[in-house]
Amino acid sequence: MLDEEAEIDETYVNAGLKGRNKRNGKGRIRGRRGRGRGSYDTDRPPVFTIKGRETGVVIYRAEKNVKGETVKKVARTHIKPGNIVYTDDFRSYWALERLYRRRIVRHSEGIYAAGDISINGAEGENLSFKMFLMLRRGVSKECLDEYCACATIWANVYTMSPCGALFRLLCWLFRPN
């Protein structure tokens, strides 16, 4: 659980029922989809990116939707309540108001950074996550949690020095329960 300032952002990935024929003979839905944000049902599930500001720890978390309750559940799982959380002005993040001290970047007004208030770190990690998935040549939405877990490990260990990665791995293995 992060005990520091954190950034939260969401991205949507193309993921269907790869390798399964559960649509009565029809393939995956590809190309342009209807208006609105993606969801698990429309084969564009959201992936939340949480990035710690001091440590740089990155966490990817796939969910079925981007409703306020879902955002609250993701934040409670990974960020200690009472900390400062940086988000954009997407209305689902309003659910975090009572749990966290929230700083907002107003993308709808064309503002992407105001002093130290930005979510550029999390948005950059969104791009890294999509690049990670691009190498896999298609993703099944049923396995998206596993892809997120692998990408989280890759983002936190691959970018470290070998000694730092070994130290972090040993600390994780021998942590008290």
Q: Along the 177 residues of the chain, how does pLDDT read in single tens digits? A: 889 999 999 999 988 776 655 556 555 555 555 666 777 888 889 999 999 999 889 999 999 999 999 999 999 999 999 999 999 999 999 999 999 999 999 988 888 888 899 999 999 999 999 999 888 777 888 889 999 999 998 888 777 788 887 887 788 788 876
Whole-angstrom Cα distance, residue 94 to residue 100?
A: 10
Give φ, ψ of 48 to 5 degrees.
Answer: -90, 135
Beta strands (DSSP E) in 27-152 are 46-52, 58-62, 84-88, 101-105, 113-114, 117-118
Counted domains in the chain: 1
Domain of residue 40 covers 6-173
Asked if residues 75 and 99 have their Cβ atoms less than 8 Å apart, the reply is yes
Q: What is the dihedral sign for C-alpha 73, 17, 32, 35?
A: negative
> Hey, what are 90's tokens?
């997407």
C-alpha 167/C-alpha 160 separation (Å) is: 10
The CATH number of residue 45's host domain is 3.30.420.10
Q: Which tokens belong to 137? A: 């040549």
- Domain presence at residue 79: yes
Amino acid found at 149: A
* pLDDT for position 34: 60
pLDDT value for 36: 65
Residue of 49, 38, 50, 41 whose CA lies nearest to 13: 38
Tell me, yes or no, whether 41 lies in a domain.
yes
Q: What pLDDT was estimated at residue 114? A: 87
How many CA within 13 A on the CB side of residue 154? 14
Report the distance separating Cα 90 and Cα 68, nearest Å: 10
Residue 82 placed within a domain: yes
Looking at the domain assignment, is residue 68 inside a domain? yes
Which pTM value belongs to this model? Answer: 0.83
- Domain membership of residue 1 (yes or no) is no
